[in-house]
Amino acid sequence: MIYIFPFLFIIGYFWSQESKKVMVMSALSGVFCWQVVSKLVSIFYFRARPSASELIDLKEIIFHRPDYSFPSDHAMFVASVATMFWLYGYKKLSYWTGGIGILIVIMRVVVAVHYPLDIVAGLILGSLISWALFKNRCFMEKYIVIPIEKIIFRLIKH
């Protein structure tokens, strides 16, 4: 279900002129949480996945790399995106992405890829980082979002 989000960003980007900035900021926030913050946290606090733990006898339902479990990068991503939509005033879209996100993270606990605390930490961190980026949106929009929009416009134009 996480693969719904790129399509959501693309459709939202072309939906209206006002939504372009919101979609780029939301995507950047989510990817920053997923690719940067979760990796940094896992360097300082590593916990193996429940299915890889020797303390718990679990049968792996789906294959997953035996990397870090804390924090959940999926939870950080969806919380960051939903929070950014909320902060920009896209409340209905925030509810929908939050609902999809809740389904995603529940299933990650069910299939023994994460502990519940991994999910909670991911949701909190994702929301806080999204809020911090939103508070610095003038800088973000001027130096990151607008140049990305120019690149997208050039790619579409050709």
d(CA 154, CA 158): 6
Q: Does residue 34 contact residue 142 with C-beta atoms inside 8 Å?
A: no
How does the average pLDDT of the chain come out, rounded?
Answer: 85
Q: Does residue 13 contact residue 152 with C-beta atoms inside 8 Å?
A: yes
Tally of CB atoms within 10 A around 91: 10
pLDDT digits (tens, 9 = 90+) for 26-79: 999 999 998 899 889 888 877 777 765 555 555 555 555 566 678 888 899 999
d(CA 138, CA 2): 29
Q: What is the pTM of this model?
A: 0.82
